Amino acid sequence: MNKPLPKRASVVIVGGGIQGLSLAFNLVEQGQRDILVLDAGYWQGGASGRNGTLIRPGFSSMAWTELFVLTVNEWRTWSKRLGENVMFTQRGYSVISETEKSEAMLIEGLKVQKSLGVDSRMLSRREIEDLLPAIDKSRVRAVQHQPEGGVAPHHAVMKGLLAFCRRSGVDVRYRTAIGGVERTGPRASAVLVGDHRIEADCIVACAGPNNPEIAAMAAVPLNGFGMRIEAMALEPTRPLIKPAIALIDSLAYFHQTARGEVVGGTEVPETPRMSLKVDVPVMAQMAKVYLDMFPQLGEVRILRHWAGQFHASSDYAPLLGEHPELKDLWFSAGWSYGFAGAPAAGKLLAEAIAKGRIDRRMKPFALDRFEKTGPIAEGGIVLA
C-alpha cells in the first residue's frame, strides 16, 4: 500500500473520482502505461459518491445530445470491459413537464434527439398510467420518455473502475494531495506532492470542485463557479417507481435504487456556496415534490440528507480538452452531469491524449469556447 511515489509518470491524473478513473481505464485500453492517479480525499468522497446517478442520452442541444448518446453507448459496455458489474440498468428516464412552456421545450427537444437517432417520445396518458402507476396524474402535463436512459449505482461503478485500474497496474493514491504544478517553458511538466516532484508527459485535472485550485497552481484561468447540491435518500421499500425521473419545472430529479431507497435532489434559490453541510429548504422542497407527485411516499421516512460540491462552467456544460494557454495540461472540468458523462469524457480524452485525435463530439466543449464560439445553450438540464 505505502510504496513511495514514482519520480515520473506518462500521465498524471489529478482526481480519483469517476472522471479520473474513467480516463485511466480508457488510457489503459489505448495501451498507455505508467498512469498515476492522485486524489486528495478518500475513495468516493467527492461528487462521484454523492450524485443522483441518473443517465440519459437525450437533451435539447446537438452538442449535449451527441456527447450523451456516446456516453450511454459506453455505459452499456462498461461491465463487460471492466470485468466488474457496474449495475448499469436501462430502466428508462422520464422527463416530466408540469407547464405549457416546458412541454413545448420537450417537444422541440425531440427533433434534435430524433435527428441523432435517440429513442425518445412523448407518452400518451395511457402510457403514463402504465409506466408510472403511482404518480399523481393530475399534476403531469407531459412526459418525454427515453427508454435507453437509466441509472448505475455509484458504489458499484466506482468499485468496478478502481478494481480494473489496480489490476491493470494504474497507480491510484487516495489521501494524497498535490501542492503545485510546475511549468517548463510553454508546457506543464510536473506535479508536486509535498517536496516530491513527479515529472509527467501530460497532466489531467479531473478534480471536480478542486479544479480551480489546480488551474491556479498552474497559473492559468478556468471558467466557472463552485456550488453545492444537496440530495437525500428515503428509507427503502420494495419497488414503487420504475424509471428515473426529472421534473423540469421543479428542478428535481430522483429514482428508486435497486436496493429500495428513493434518492433524489432539487435546487432552491440559495446563494451558491461550497460546503458539505446540508440545509432545511432542500429537504422540505424535495419532500413536497415527493408528496405532490407520489402521495404514497408521504408516510416514508427520510433516511439521510447530504451535500456534494462541484465546479460548474458558466453554461453548465463540461470543459474538455487541453488548456489553450498551457500545453500538456488537460481538463475534464465544469461538469454538472459528470457522473453520466464520465464514460464519454474518458473515451474522448484518452483518444486525444494517446492518439492526438480530437473527436468532433469533444470540440464544442473546448475550454476557450466562451471567447471563440460562445456558451452552449441547453434548456433540457435540470439546473438553474
Partner 1 sequence: MSDDNRQAEVTFLWNGTPIRARQGDSVAAALWRAGITTLARSRKIHRPLGYSGAYPTGVLARVNGRPNVRLDQVRAEDGLVVEMQNTWPAPRFDLLKLARVLPPRLVYGGFEHGAWMPKAGPAYRLAERAMANLAGVARPADAAARASLVPGERMAVDCLVVGGGPAGISEANRRAGLGETVALVTRGDRLARFASAAGIVVEPLDPKVRLFAGMELFGVYRDGALMVGAPHDNRRGAVAFDPRAAVLATGRRSIPPLVRGSELPGVLDAHSALQLAAVHRVMPGRRVAVVGTGAEKGLADRLVSLGVDVVHRGPVGELEEIRGRSRVTAIRAGAEIRCDAVVHAGPWRIDPSLGFQASGEGMFQMLARPLPDTMSVAGAAALGDERIHARRHLHPGTLICPCMDVTAGELYCHIDEGETDPEVLKRLTSCGMGTCQGFPCWEHMLALLAARIGVEPEAFARPTHRPPRRSITVAQAAGLAALVEPDR
Can you tell me whether residue 225 is helix, strand or coil? strand
Q: Name the DSSP class of 53.
A: -
CB of 63 to partner 1, least distance (A): 28
Q: Name the DSSP class of 242.
A: -
Sole binder of partner 1 in the list 6, 226, 260, 379 (CB under 8 A): 260
Whole-number Å distance between alpha carbons of 56 and 147? 9
Task: Enumerate the β-bridge partners of residue 54.
Answer: 151
Comparison of 49 and 346: residue with beta carbon closer to partner 1: 49
Q: Which has the closest alpha carbon to 29: 365, 343, 329?
A: 343
Sole binder of partner 1 in the list 30, 275, 314, 373 (CB under 8 A): 275
The residue range among 35-43, 183-191, 215-223, 373-381 that interacts with partner 1, by the rule CB under 8 A, is 35-43
Sole binder of partner 1 in the list 34, 105, 147, 174 (CB under 8 A): 174
Asked whether position 373 contacts partner 1 by CB under 8 A, the answer is no
Max Cα separation, the chain? 65
Asked whether position 79 contacts partner 1 by CB under 8 A, the answer is yes
CB neighbours of 363 closer than 8 A, spacing ≥ 6? Answer: none
Task: Say if strands 329-333 and 196-205 run parallel, antiparallel, or are unpaired.
Answer: parallel
Can you tell me whether residue 33 is helix, strand or coil? coil
Can you tell me whether residue 315 is helix, strand or coil? coil
CB 19 within 8 A of CB 206: yes
Q: Which has the closest alpha carbon to 193: 174, 177, 217, 175?
A: 177
Per-residue interface string for the shown chain with partner 1, residues 127-166, x marking contact by CB under 8 A: -------x------------------x-xx-xx-------
Asked whether position 73 contacts partner 1 by CB under 8 A, the answer is no
CB of 113 to partner 1, least distance (A): 23
> In which order are the strands placed within the sheet that holds 142-146?
121-122, 142-146, 93-97, 244-247, 252-256, 262-266, 225-234
State the number of binding residues for partner 1 (CB under 8 A). Answer: 67
Sole binder of partner 1 in the list 7, 80, 111, 167 (CB under 8 A): 80
Comparison of 21 and 220: residue with beta carbon closer to partner 1: 21
Whole-number Å distance between alpha carbons of 22 and 346? 5
Asked whether position 193 contacts partner 1 by CB under 8 A, the answer is no
Comparison of 37 and 376: residue with beta carbon closer to partner 1: 37
Comparison of 42 and 225: residue with beta carbon closer to partner 1: 42
Q: For the beta carbon of residue 93, count every other beta carbon within 10 angstroms.
A: 27
Asked whether position 124 contacts partner 1 by CB under 8 A, the answer is no
Q: Which residues bind partner 1 (CB under 8 A)?
A: 1, 40-46, 49, 76, 79-80, 85, 87-89, 91, 134, 153, 155-156, 158-159, 174-175, 234-240, 256, 258-260, 268-271, 275-281, 283-288, 290-291, 295-306
